[in-house]
């Protein structure tokens, strides 16, 4: 079951990267800038790929 969940959702680091990206988007949206929200989420995800790849 653990292997199945890991295959579907990844490890804690992956979940953390995506959680930060979504939180950044949500925060920027609440500040009234939806355009910045989505592109800042994209930037966080690119940073996440860099971090996950070099771990």
- Binding residues vs another protein (CB under 8 A): 3-4, 7-10, 14-15, 17-18, 21-22, 25-26, 28-29, 34-35, 37-38, 41-42, 45-46, 48-50, 52-54
Cα 30 from Cα 34, distance rounded (Å):
8
CB count within 10 Å of CB 41 equals: 19
Q: Least separation, in Å, of the C-beta of 42 and another protein?
A: 6
Q: Least separation, in Å, of the C-beta of 12 and another protein?
A: 11
Rounded-to-10 torsion of CA 47, 27, 14, 5: -160
Q: Least separation, in Å, of the C-beta of 40 and another protein?
A: 10
């Amino acid at each position: 079951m653990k292997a199945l969940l890991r295959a579907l959702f990844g490890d804690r680091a992956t979940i953390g990267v995506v959680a930060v990206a979504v939180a950044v988007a949500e925060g920027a949206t609440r500040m009234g800038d939806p355009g910045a929200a989505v592109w800042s989420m994209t930037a966080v995800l690119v940073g996440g790929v860099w971090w996950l790849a070099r771990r």
